[in-house]
Structure 1
């Protein structure tokens, strides 16, 4: 006979597996729709906890702000690559002009990426619950 503790442990593990598969599915959707930059900053999305649905909800200089952020992140990554001996790759990242092209706001891409992030958070919570229950489970 399965005890209540065992049932709870099995249920948490089952939910964790399902949510993890949902994260994989959501990641595939983000990748296939090109929504990866739908939310250009982290942990917020366009400096908001709930993403905007209209371009009028964004700051006027949002394109310049996020292009500058991408350039800064790429420079930091290029320095890291140089420290690892990958100078050619670092130079190609530094001189990639696609980084400086601002993206137009697209609410569908924004919300696709946002839902992917929420699925990731949910999976993280259930993974932590699985770890916690594994210590309690006997």
Structure 2
């Protein structure tokens, strides 16, 4: 069921938040450091492990896929909780890091798009066969 995918996400999220909090304590920061990212990495690893072992049903994979697609909005929502004004007043490092990451990502995407020489995907077959008719035969 799809709920199993959500349960897997919840387990990975809890583990990621705990690890992010522990990492924050180790680094001396009074905040969660990378909890959402750790959770998503755990989710990817758990999904791959379950697929290799045959424990991932189609419905479970749909639940995991849905929440995997929700990664960006979750990160944006978590980042909205951060105190951006304090970060900007703390020094120009935050602004330089943001600008630098955008420039590096843009350059990387441009480089990949210019060097990738992949073949286009083949067209999908448009022939519709009646139910019960073997594909390729009549």
Task: Give TM-score, length-normalised by structure 2.
Answer: 0.28
> Which of 1 and 2 has higher RCO (CA within 8 Å, sep 6+)?
1
Structure with larger Rg:
2
